[in-house]
Structure 1
Amino acid sequence: MSAQSAGIFLTEDRLAIRDMAREFAMREVLPRANELDPVQGEIPMDLRAQMSELGFFGILIPEEHGGLGLGLSEYAVVVEELSRAWMSVASLIARGQQFTAGFDAAQRERYLPAMARGEFLSAFALSEAEAGSDVANLSCRATPDGDGWRITGQKMWCTFADGADYLQVFARTGPVDPAHRSRGVTCFLMPKERGSLPDGVTGTPVRKIGYHGWKTWELAFDDAWAEEVVGELGKGFRVAMGDLDTARIHTAARAIGLARGALEDSITYAGQRVQFGRPIGENQAIRFTIADMATQIEASRALMYQVCAAVDAGQPSPVQASMVKLVASEMAERVTSEGLQIHGGAGYTTDFPVERYWRDARLTKIFEGTSEIQMRIISDALLGRPDSR
């Protein structure tokens, strides 16, 4: 990190937060990741408890609701540090503070304090087999039943469905309007026991190549009961889109953390690995590669800091959020791949964490909107939307 960026963005308070998160990540998270990720083990509960004690679940939650009341800048700093150790842990803290768009005053009063303590974490049930990037194309349906609703249909890519304390389920409550397909979708809050799925919901874990530490599920809803609506009836699409800027900056921070892990591990490895009688770090090819990796990370981080500062100043920009997500995720795949290459054959084993960074970096180009979706958002802002004829 350059002295200039540290001086401008990393205030004394943010440096203290960063150093605290870094010490925790390297001391507690990284050893668990190295042990559990290769065997697809789950994030331990005691680690979650430590994260709660440090306030990680409440960074963005106002102080009056038990959180730290900090901004996106502090959030991104912590996320980068956790992701440098294990991206899944960096993702876990979003489950208590990133999925609250649409909560009314009563729901905020009731749920935010528990979220800030890490005691009411969510799983987001939005995507379906035919509704990935086309998130308005939902077929899961909710029908009225007395004081509540019965939900029937399929959901895909619901990470943490078993470990969460509630599901946030998006289902169609109105007819499909071909001209405005996002209308008629409602968001439901479905509380459940941690460690199980709700009554009327069955699931199959997705066989992933990465993002281990928790399961990602394909879910089937069969008259599953829900009675609490988040946001307005029929306007759930606004809830789904409400946290996207934060989610995309969160992903940028995760991507930067992964890339930094690959860089730091590569520097260490290049100093230890001896070939032809000298450390490989003395070879110009390796040195230039490491220099390029570091430069790409710094450039992505600088843009992330700029976007975070704008949001915290009350000047959010969905286009800039898409830009930083695009830049950082594409960078992370390149940099982690270079890190694996520096490790040679050793990098293609689970004995070194660099392969984990590489696998997880690939996912950052897909979730929270693919790179192609980000480029569409950016190009539409610059050129206008293309004629639909």
Structure 2
Amino acid sequence: MTDAPLAAPPPDLPGPYRTEARVALQDGARRFAAEQVRPIADEYDPHKREMPRSLIEAMGREGYFGIMVDAEHGGLGLGVFEYTMVAEELARAWMSVASIIARAQGLGTDVAEEDRARELLARSARGEWIGAAGFSEPDAGSDLAAVSTRAELDGDEYVITGEKRWIGNAEAADFIQLLCRTDDPRPGEKRAAGLATVIVEKERGAFPPGLTGTTIDKIGYHGFLTWNLVFDGVRVPAANRVGGKGTAAFRDTQKWLNIARVHTAARAVGLARAAVEDSVLYLQEREQFGHPIADFQALRFMLASMVARVDQARAFYRQVADQLDRGEPCERESAMVKLVATEMAVDVTGDAMQLHGGNGYTTERQVERYWRDARLTTIFEGTSQIQQKIIADSLLPKSSLE
């Protein structure tokens, strides 16, 4: 695989968002991505290998697993803005690395027992409590209220039975956070009634008794494995229920998804930026008809449109991240930025493959990896069509089809 040097970075943070601390964090993440992440991505991704533990430990030392964990518990005590800013830099090198940090940030720590919660927060911040999120099922993806995996209370334990799909990092995780059904909704109640979130604590590299899994072979998004899991009487302490219950559990999930969608937008921007930067280099390197192909106006204009769309999406995700940090409701804005940024990333990485010509359709260049990973961003955390539904529902009366 050709290992072209990284192109010049984009301009520093603009005035409204600029602080010296953010600039330092961004510069550090950019160097980390270039020096430590990309060489591993170039070696591991073609063989669908899981990222090495040494890289995860290095990320822990940088504080990337605790960006949004308060300083009292060993985190950086920062917000969604910094979290997504770092995610863009990491995704520029390998989207999976930008994704693994989402499996900490205090995930799986909201237990009732205070000492236990503090311990888990500190472990999360250090990258020693990294999880997997189990929301989707074979028949419940976008429609999370249709979750059917059961968690039946038996004394002081939940007994979990059901099937979950699209669970990234499940075997390598320290825990799996599951959205389960503890009760059936009563007549007149919303379908989300009876839902709860339960933590299945486990050893890395293994599944507990009663849990089996098979890997899902993907065309991209390598670096960690994605699983289909079957729960057959898995027992966990009742104290492992986190957050609210019923419709409150569903709202907690939706709130988490608002942040996750902005995080996905930032990852999409990182991928698209990578495609632009590699294209800038390639257009100057490749010659045809006695000239660098960068001399041809059609290709110059194509590149100009690509970079304009990347910068537009970056400005949008930063705006929504700032809104989240201010505590403003922005479910619609999170859906919009996820829609805009991910569709942009598919287009821009596809255009980059076109600019690379036949070389773009080989594994000798990283641009095909950017496209494979970008294609997924329009699907997970809610498909583009689900984002359109959220946006439309915020503007129009509820559809009579629901």
Band the TM-score falls in, shorter-chain normalisation: over 0.9
User: 2:208 aligned to 198, 216, 229, which one?
Assistant: 198
1:13, CA displacement in angstroms? 1.6
Normalized against structure 1, the TM-score is what? 0.96
Query: Which whole-Å CA distance do the structure 2 matches of 1:313 and 1:57 have between them?
Result: 22
CA 1:8–1:388 in 2, change beyond 3 Å: closer, same or farther?
same
Q: TM-score, normalised by structure 2?
A: 0.93
Distance 1:102 1:377, change over 3 A: farther
Which AA in structure 2 matches 1:169? L
Counterpart residue identity of residue 200, structure 2: M
Query: Residue 219 of structure 2 corresponds to which residue in structure 1?
Result: 209
Retained in 2: the 8 A contact 1:133–1:373?
A: yes
TM-superposed CA distance for 1:130, in Å, is 0.5
Structure 2 counterpart of 1:220? 230
In structure 2, what is the equivalent of residue 136 of structure 1? Answer: 145
Give, in whole Å, the separation in 1 of the partners of 2:160 and 2:113: 25
1:231 aligns with 2:240: no
Name the structure 2 match of 1:114: 123
* CA distance, structure 2, for counterparts of residue 163 and residue 356 of structure 1: 23
Equivalent position amino acid for 1:266 in 2: S
Q: How many residues align?
A: 389
Aligned-residue identity in percent:
48
User: What does residue range 96-175 of structure 1 map to in structure 2 within 5 Å?
Assistant: 96-97=104-105, 99-100=107-108, 103-104=111-112, 106=114, 107-175=116-184
Instruction: Give 3-state SS (helix, strand or coil) of 2:31's partner.
Output: helix
CA contact (8 A) 2:332 2:391 kept: yes
Kindly indicate whether residue 202 of structure 2 is the aligned counterpart of residue 189 of structure 1. Answer: no
Q: Secondary structure at the match of 2:145?
A: coil
Does the 8 Å CA contact 1:98/1:243 hold for their aligned counterparts?
Answer: no
Query: Which residue does the alignment assign to 1:17?
Result: 25
Give the 3 Å change call, closer, same or farther, for CA 30–66 of structure 1 in structure 2.
same
Paired position in structure 2 for 1:361: 374
Q: Which among 270, 273, 296 is matched to residue 260 of structure 1?
A: 273
- Are the equivalent residues in 2 in contact too, given 1:98–1:247 (CA < 8 A)? no
- Report how far residue 101 of structure 1 moved: 8.2
1:149-191 CA-to-partner distances (Å, cap 9, x unmatched) read 1111111000000110001112211124575111111211111
Q: CA RMSD in A?
A: 1.7
- For 1:371, give the aligned amino acid: S
- State the alpha-carbon separation in 1 of the partners of residues 327 and 53 from structure 2: 36
Aligned to 1:59: 67
Q: Counterpart in 1 of 2:383?
A: 370
Q: Match for residue 190 of structure 2?
A: 180
Secondary structure of 1:204's aligned partner = strand
2:342 matched to 1:329? yes
| CA shift in 2, pair 1:303/1:101, >3 Å | farther
Moved more, 172-181 or 301-310: 172-181
Q: CA deviation at 1:302?
A: 0.8
> Of residues 283, 289, 310 in structure 2, which corresponds to 1:297?
310
- SS state at 1:383 partner: coil
In structure 2, which of residues 39, 43, 49 is the aligned counterpart of residue 31 of structure 1?
A: 39
Contact 2:69 2:106 in 1 (8 A): no
The alpha-carbon deviation at position 10 of structure 1 amounts to 2.8
